[in-house]
Structure 1
Amino acid sequence: MTTYRFAFTFLVGLLAVASTARAQQTALTQQFAGSTILLANGDTLRGPVTLRRDQDVLMMAQPDGTITTLSAVAINSFAVKGENRDSRRGTSYYDNFYDARNGYYYGNPMYSSRRTEESDLNRVRVFRTYRWNRGNDYSDFKSPAFFEQLSNGPRMLLRRESLMQRTVPTSGPYGYGGYGYGNPYGAGRYAGTYTEMKDDFFLASPTGDVIALRSPKKDLLNVFRGQAKQLEQYAKQNQLSFTVARELAFIVNYANSLVKEEAK
């Protein structure tokens, strides 16, 4: 009975920690050794850049030591490579989306074997600018923002990343401090807070509208209603998750392929 009571109390303590955790978005800065930037006016820039995700700006050092800051309104799209490794990321984060961006999916005749991508800091990442309501579904105001392209189109899977600092209460015998309920990413191991990376997925329509996939499986199946059963079966057969970026990209590519076949 004593053991059972201890286990129950410990579980309640952990649930209390999880339910009362607070999250706050903080600045996320990423540095890349190389980039190709297509400006809205048609010009092209190349060179090392710093990407401020929270501000949707690129900063590029000039030969004279000055810094050129480019906002999303001035950029059509850009590709970057040579990312500085972030210890808060798991190795799977560095998957290469080259195949997915080119429309491949498991079962595609041109993509006959499932393979695991090795961690690759030199992989090319592609970003596009879309006008977005910043998550305010009740507002008609949209401003330019950067989205990473993960799949091919015509409906394209997009991603935005953010850095979240979570605060966990330390009170109670089974709280954060007592049992070392620490940061799962290994950074910020001090009582009361930890930092984690957060991915938000979106779907771009052929007309350029951005649809938030807050619940990726539910929302994606809602968009592809006519193909929902086939998508669920495809994901199950290939053991694909709707919450893993690279796997979701292949699901979106498969969905697009079904729509194209039905349109013939």
Structure 2
Amino acid sequence: MPQEFSASTVVLTNGDTIRGSLMLHNELDLLLVTMADGTVRTVPALAVRTFAVSGEIMRFDRLPPQYLNSAAFTPARVRRRWHQVQRARPFLVYAWNHDRDYATSSAPAFFERLNGGPVILLRRQQLVQRAVPWSDATMASGYMMRPAGTPYFYTDVRELLYLGTPEGTIVALRRPKRDLLAYFPAEAAQLEQYAHAHGLDFANSAELARLVDYANSLRQLTASAQ
């Protein structure tokens, strides 16, 4: 399933820049950019240097079931089918082996940048459509009437996290805490202390980004002292 954004700026490898609304097909590493004149340009990762998006379009009628009875999502809000999240999000392109450890080849792929650097926390999101039986107790709702037994489909988001190294390679964070501490062995003890002192969760991508930035600062301090 593609992610949709109302605005984007895409810098191509040939130096050109294009702008417009954008559909990101993560499974294909492909962009569909709708230009100002209404034409749609198809751009593979191979042709992209970097891009940034904003105004992610979220469908209220595809929310996970636990949100349906939440006060934050009243019937009127659910009937507003689309919602735009305006936060700007930068993306980079790295060669990726699709997490096949023994692969002999890789291909350009899109990764969202979550922190500063020089070691960068990267994320790939996958939108997955899941079905929940309408008889499930969590689906009880006075404004979402469906025949008995009709499944409700909602969109779940799966995150894959990586480190982008200064050398231009990526390291998969399959178990974020274990793998991050393994990448920063000299800083591991201080990282754990910092996480504990500030209540940071290695499994939370936003908090993990803070930890990577902290690890970068520790490594830079050590380098400058030598």
TM-score, normalization: structure 1? 0.67
Deviation at 1:46, TM superposition (A): 1.2
Q: 1 CA distance for matches of 2:32 and 2:136?
A: 42
Deviations 1:110-129 (A, max 9, x none): xxxxxxxxxx8211100001
Question: Matches of residues 184-223 of structure 1 in structure 2 within 5 Å?
Answer: 195-223=155-183
Match of 2:87 in 1: 123
**Deviation of 1:36 (Å):** 0.9
- 2:43 equivalent in structure 1: 70
- In structure 2, what is the Cα distance between the partners aligned to 1:121 and 1:32? 9
Encode CA deviations 1:56-112: one digit per residue, 9 max, x unaligned. Answer: 111122455432100000001001111112444799xxxxxxxxxxxxxxxxxxxxx
TM-score w.r.t. the length of structure 2 is 0.78
Gaps of 5+ in 1: 1-27, 92-119, 169-175, 183-188
Q: Which residue of structure 2 lines up, in the alignment, with residue 137 of structure 1?
A: 101
Q: How does 1:168-187 map to 2 (within 5 A)?
A: 180=137
Greater length-normalized contact order (CA 8 Å, ≥ 6 residues apart): 1
Which residue pairs with 1:48 in the alignment?
21
Alpha-carbon distance change, 155 to 242 in structure 1, aligned in 2, over 3 angstroms = same
Which secondary structure state, in structure 2, belongs to the residue aligned with residue 241 of structure 1? coil
Q: CA RMSD in A?
A: 2.7
Q: Quick one: structure 1 residues 82 and 256, their matched pair in 2 at CA, closer, same or farther if it must change by over 3 Å?
A: same
Q: 1:30 to 1:161 in 2, by over 3 A?
A: same
Q: Does 1:248 align with 2:208?
A: yes
Whether the 8 Å CA contact 2:30–2:44 is kept in 1: the answer is: yes
Aligned length, in residue pairs: 197
Distance 1:258 1:145, change over 3 A: same
Task: Please name the residue that 2:145 is paired with.
Answer: none
More displaced stretch, 40-49 vs 222-231:
40-49
How far is the alpha carbon of 1:55 from its aligned partner? 1.1
Pair 1:177–1:238, CA change in 2 (3 A): same
* Counterpart AA for 1:239: G
Establish whether residue 164 from structure 1 lines up as the match of residue 125 from structure 2.
no
